[in-house]
């Protein structure tokens, strides 16, 4: 079952969310919706009636989502497009006699273009009636993009489908204005992928394959009716390392950036003008998650990053599109037969207004698919630290637990799951991560640490925000860390004798960080003849020790036991006086 989670990318946690299931009337499908009590997201899930996935297209004008089942492998295989509304309810299915692949919508959403084996189908999105234009034969699956008033589509052809990944692929076009389908004369090896963007731009990316050890990414200008190639980049270095392993690509809402889902790297953020690396990129995906999809929200607020991951590792991160915004991502982990196990390659699309994210997930075998309709929050609320920070004990000592306490207030509805704060300690050796701590229902929190260095330690507590709450201004406090105390306790007899001697037992106690070695105690005896140093004693593992002495004269003998201290512990001493008889 999928769970929405709000926490740091490297410290994922599960939101306690009970999914509500409701049968969809007349469809036989099931929708699961996260409780509305949490403003961060809601998630509707529909099991798709397909066994393979080719493409998804979102029609924001009519609030429709189209998902294509490629069903390739045989000339006689039929094709299918499942049509859903923005609530995740299936409206209809469109069937074709032969397999289909890429999908693209025209600018106003009135026409859905569908890549067939030998036909480019054109469907009226209000009636789902179609007419087809016969084009070059495709045996491997097309990619489609509508840009600059033209439909661009790839034509990979191989007699054997086992060679589709390395076959030569052509980039062709269809011009609705004059109903012609000219070839662009661009081509390369492998299943080339297309992605349209704002400002009459289009991306073409090459998946990694045996015919392309160093695949390319390139940006086209489609405004003039003839493709003009602008920026292009290959990513491998002089040693052949770092080659692109393309799974998906997307333009930012303003067209200035390109995000790439690279299975070998993660999420690349590039400048559209020259495809150079952006100055600030996104944080890495969770450990063991492999990038599979990427999409920017149409309103420019968010980016969605999909991945293939196992177990509780997040498969989807939804976060601010600005990489400099440290707001904690909203994370989803897809697990099992109700949700799929990972985000499918090219499986993310947004509505034009950014109010909904559509995600196609698949199981590990890649033969079952699910459509998720996710709604990020419409608003964010403020959060703030109040009252400063306090700490206990009042005198912090090296190597002993220290509690730093504070309070975080937040506006808006109460979160379903507690908020988290992050703490660091800065001392003479630098800044250290203390950890992440839970905020209680009343807003209070406790940071637990064990400082191990004498001197000032400055604690900084941060709330990085989430998709419901804005980050809060950091709060700090400086704590003076001193040496840990030690003590010596002696048990001595009231009297001893010159003949039988004196036996004194004791206990040595050291707080704070454990001593590297057992303490060695200095022992002196003072009597009427003066002061002399006796043999030192080593404290046992349980902190106890024993002193045996043969006094040299009658009268009072005062025994002093002392320890000089070390870098982290104070010195200590104790005395005991014994009256010595003959």
Quick: pLDDT tens for 373-386. Answer: 998 877 778 999 99
Q: How confident is the model at residue 7 (pLDDT cuts 50, 70, 90)?
A: very low
Quick: pLDDT tens for 443-470. Answer: 999 999 999 899 999 999 999 887 788 8
Average pLDDT over residues 304-319: 92
Quick: pLDDT tens for 137-172. Answer: 888 989 999 999 999 999 998 888 889 999 999 999
Higher pLDDT, 12 or 537: 537
Compute CA 575 distance to the chain's CA centroid, rounded to the nearest angstrom: 60
Q: Is 165 helix (H, G, I), strand (E, B) or coil?
A: helix
Q: For the whole model, what pTM was predicted?
A: 0.70
Residue-level pLDDT at 73? 67
Residue 10 has pLDDT above 50, yes or no: no
Average pLDDT over residues 286-308: 95
Residue 415 has pLDDT above 90, yes or no: no
Where does CATH 2.130.10.10 sit in the chain? 3-375
Residue 17 has pLDDT above 80, yes or no: no
How far, CA to CA in Å, does 299 sit from each of 293, 346, 357, 359, 360?
Answer: 19, 20, 12, 17, 21
Is residue 138 within 8 Å of residue 156, measured between CB atoms?
yes
Residues β-bridged to residue 229: 220
Where does CATH 2.60.40.2470 sit in the chain? 383-482, 486-581
CATH number of 486-581: 2.60.40.2470
Compute CA 69 distance to the chain's CA centroid, rounded to the nearest angstrom: 30
How far, CA to CA in Å, does 422 sit from each of 15, 118, 446?
Answer: 18, 57, 11
* Number of other residues whose CB lies within 10 A of the CB of residue 560: 19
Average pLDDT, the chain: 89
Residue 1 has pLDDT above 50, yes or no: no
Residues β-bridged to residue 166: none
Q: Domain spanning 383-482: which CATH class is it, in words?
A: mainly beta
Q: How confident is the model at residue 26 (pLDDT cuts 50, 70, 90)?
A: very low
Is residue 479 within 8 Å of residue 402, measured between CB atoms?
yes
State the SS3 of 336-395: CCCCCCEEEEEEEEECCCCCCEEEEEECCCCCCEEEEEEECCCCCECEEEEEEEEEECCC
Residue-level pLDDT at 214? 96
Q: Which CATH number fits domain 3-375: 3.20.20.70, 3.40.50.300, 2.60.40.740, 2.130.10.10?
A: 2.130.10.10
Least-confidence region, from 129-133, 192-196, 364-368, 377-381: 377-381
Residue 251 has pLDDT above 90, yes or no: yes
d(CA 434, CA 425): 6
Least-confidence region, from 4-18, 502-516, 554-568: 4-18
Q: Which residues contact 578 (CB under 8 A, 6 or more apart)?
A: 492, 493, 494, 495, 496, 502, 504, 551, 556, 557, 559
Residue 32 has pLDDT above 50, yes or no: no
Residue-level pLDDT at 535? 95
Quick: pLDDT tens for 50-62. Answer: 999 999 999 999 9
Nearest to 360 by CA among 194, 521, 248, 193: 248
* Number of other residues whose CB lies within 10 A of the CB of residue 189: 18
In eight-state DSSP terms, residue 579 is E
């Amino acid at each position: 079952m999928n769970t929405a989670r709000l926490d740091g990318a490297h410290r994922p946690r599960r939101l306690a969310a009970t999914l509500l299931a409701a049968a969809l009337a007349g469809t036989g499908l099931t929708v699961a919706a996260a409780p509305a009590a949490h403003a961060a997201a809601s998630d509707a899930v529909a099991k798709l009636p397909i066994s393979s996935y080719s493409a998804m297209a979102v029609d924001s004008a009519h609030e429709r989502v189209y998902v294509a089942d490629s069903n390739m492998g045989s000339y006689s295989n039929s094709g299918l497009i499942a049509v859903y509304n923005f609530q995740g309810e299936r409206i209809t299915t469109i069937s074709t006699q032969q397999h289909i692949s890429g999908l693209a919508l025209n600018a106003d959403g009135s026409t859905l273009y569908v890549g067939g084996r030998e036909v480019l189908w054109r469907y009226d999105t209000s009636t789902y009636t179609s007419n087809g234009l016969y084009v070059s034969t495709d045996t491997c699956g097309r990619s489609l993009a509508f840009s600059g008033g033209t439909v661009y589509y790839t034509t990979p052809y191989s007699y054997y489908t086992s060679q589709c990944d390395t076959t030569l692929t052509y980039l062709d076009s269809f011009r609705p204005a004059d109903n012609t389908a000219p070839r662009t004369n661009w081509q390369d090896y492998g299943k080339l992928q297309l992605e349209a963007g704002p400002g009459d731009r289009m991306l073409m990316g090459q998946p990694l394959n045996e015919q392309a050890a160093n695949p390319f990414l390139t940006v086209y200008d489609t405004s003039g009716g003839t493709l003009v190639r602008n920026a292009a980049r290959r990513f491998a270095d002089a040693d052949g390392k770092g080659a692109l392993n393309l799974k998906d690509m997307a333009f930012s809402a303003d067209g200035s950036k390109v995000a790439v889902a690279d299975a070998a790297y993660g999420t690349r953020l590039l400048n559209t003008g020259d495809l150079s690396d952006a100055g600030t990129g996104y944080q890495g995906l969770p450990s063991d998650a492999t990038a599979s999809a990427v999409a920017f929200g149409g309103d420019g607020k968010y980016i969605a990053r999909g991945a293939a991951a196992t177990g509780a590792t997040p498969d989807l991160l939804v976060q601010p599109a600005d990489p400099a915004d440290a707001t904690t991502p909203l994370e989803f982990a897809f697990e099992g037969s109700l949700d799929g196990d990972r985000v499918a390659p090219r499986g993310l699309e947004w509505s034009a207004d950014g109010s909904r994210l559509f995600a196609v997930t698949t199981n590990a075998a890649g033969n079952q698919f699910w459509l998720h309709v996710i709604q990020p929050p419409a608003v964010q609320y403020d959060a703030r630290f109040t009252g400063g920070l306090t700490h206990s004990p009042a005198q912090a000592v090296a190597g002993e637990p220290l509690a730093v306490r504070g309070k975080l207030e937040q506006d808006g509805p109460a979160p379903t799951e507690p908020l988290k704060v992050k703490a660091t300690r800065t001392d003479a050796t630098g800044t250290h991560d203390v950890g992440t701590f839970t905020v209680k229902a009343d807003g209070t929190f406790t940071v637990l640490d064990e400082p191990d260095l004498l001197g000032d330690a400055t604690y900084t507590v941060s709330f990085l925000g989430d998709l419901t709450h804005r980050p809060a201004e950091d709060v700090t406090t400086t704590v003076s860390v001193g040496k840990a105390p030690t003590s010596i306790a002696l048990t001595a007899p009231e009297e001893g004798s010159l003949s039988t001697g004196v036996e004194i037992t004791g206990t040595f106690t050291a707080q704070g960080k454990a001593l590297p070695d057992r303490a060695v105690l200095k022992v002196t005896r003072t009597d009427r003849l003066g002061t002399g140093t006796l043999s030192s004693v080593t404290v046992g593992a349980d902190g106890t020790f024993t002193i045996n002495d043969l006094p040299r004269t009658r009268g009072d003998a005062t025994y002093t036991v002392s320890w000089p201290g070390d870098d982290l512990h104070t010195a200590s001493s104790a005395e005991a006086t014994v009256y010595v008889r003959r």
